[in-house]
Amino acid sequence: MRFKTPAMMIVVSALAFLPACGAVGSAGDTVAGWFGYSSGTDRDVSADEPQTLAMDAQERMDADDYKTAAQLWQQLKDQFPYSKYAALGELKLADALYLQGKYVEALGAYEDFERLHPENEAVPYAVYQQGMCHYQRTYGIDRDQTPTIQAIQTLARLIETYPDSQYAAMGRARIAESQNNLAGHEFYVGEFYYQRKDYAAAMNRFTGLLRYYPDSGYHQRALNYIAEYKRQVASGEIGEGENLRGSEMDSPFLSETIPEPEF
């Protein structure tokens, strides 16, 4: 299941004189008023070109035309790198890419913003969005979980570095969801091995799930498999530690280790 970022407030210190509310929202909606205006009629006819570009770009964002918005933000960034709107353009370019589902490109843009403006008040948001770029690329429990792990690591960094940020709480919620996905993967792998009678490998997965993800939705199901294994050993149906599978039963996409939580 995939989620979009809920509406959120971002303060960009480089533009502190502007009412700086903006967002990446549910179903791709953006919060209007980043520049403190509700329509093109609010535009200052004497505005310089960077401001005009910024306003045009935001209007395209508000109209859900993220492709055109991204082009305008990129133009602002390239042509006016020393403008007071440049930092905002960099961040909003990342948002426009994210809202197009271009998560790899958006990730790079959010990382660039953090690297170029480490003291900016919007950095916690940029880090959160980095985590979301990984999160949006997570797959089902039967697939490689690298993006899931990357999402957890990035959001854990957010929580450690900016514990009082409003995005820290949001990050914790996404970590919980990601950990449940990892738990589901471990259960899937354990079940895969159990059904192929590789009991030692299956028990390693199930006990690891209980150790690292005790609050997941797969906890009881793992316990049920462990109990059934013990029953079969006690009844003599299988020998303890017995493995009956052949190497041809291996699946190439299965992970070999359980990631250690880092926070």
Task: State the burial class of residue 43 (Cβ atoms within 10 Å of its Cβ: 0-12, 13-18, 19+).
Answer: middle
pLDDT, position 197: 87
Closest CA to 147 of 115, 176, 100, 181: 181
Residues 243 and 201: beta-carbon distance below 8 Å: yes
Phi, psi angle pair for 240, to nearest 5°: -60, 130
In the prediction, which pLDDT does 116 show?
94
Lowest mean pLDDT, pick from 135-144, 175-184, 241-250: 241-250
Residues 198-213, mean pLDDT to the nearest whole number: 89
Q: Which residues pair with 198 in a beta bridge?
A: 243
Which pLDDT belongs to residue 142?
Answer: 81
Average pLDDT of the residues in 69-98: 93
> Which of these CATH numbers, 1.10.10.60, 1.10.8.50, 3.20.20.80, 1.25.40.10, describes 13-37+47-137?
1.25.40.10
% of residues, the chain, pLDDT over 70: 73
**DSSP β-bridge partners for residue 243:** 198
Q: What is the mean pLDDT of the chain?
A: 78
Domain coordinates in residue numbering, the chain: 13-37+47-137, 185-249
Contacts of 233-240 with C-beta under 8 Å, sequence gap 24+, read 238/197, 238/199
Query: Could you report the per-residue pLDDT of 131-153, keeping only the tens digit for each?
Result: 999 999 988 888 888 999 999 99
pLDDT band at 67 (very low <50, low <70, confident <90, very high): very high
Q: What is the pLDDT of residue 149?
A: 93
| Residue 143 confidence (pLDDT) | 83
| pLDDT tens sequence across 8-35 | 333 233 333 232 333 464 323 332 333 3
- Burial grade of 146 (CB within 10 A; 0-12, 13-18, 19 or more): middle
Which pLDDT does position 245 carry in this prediction? 53
Q: Is the pLDDT of residue 247 over 80?
A: no
pLDDT in tens, 96-128: 999 999 999 999 999 999 999 999 999 999 999
pTM: 0.73
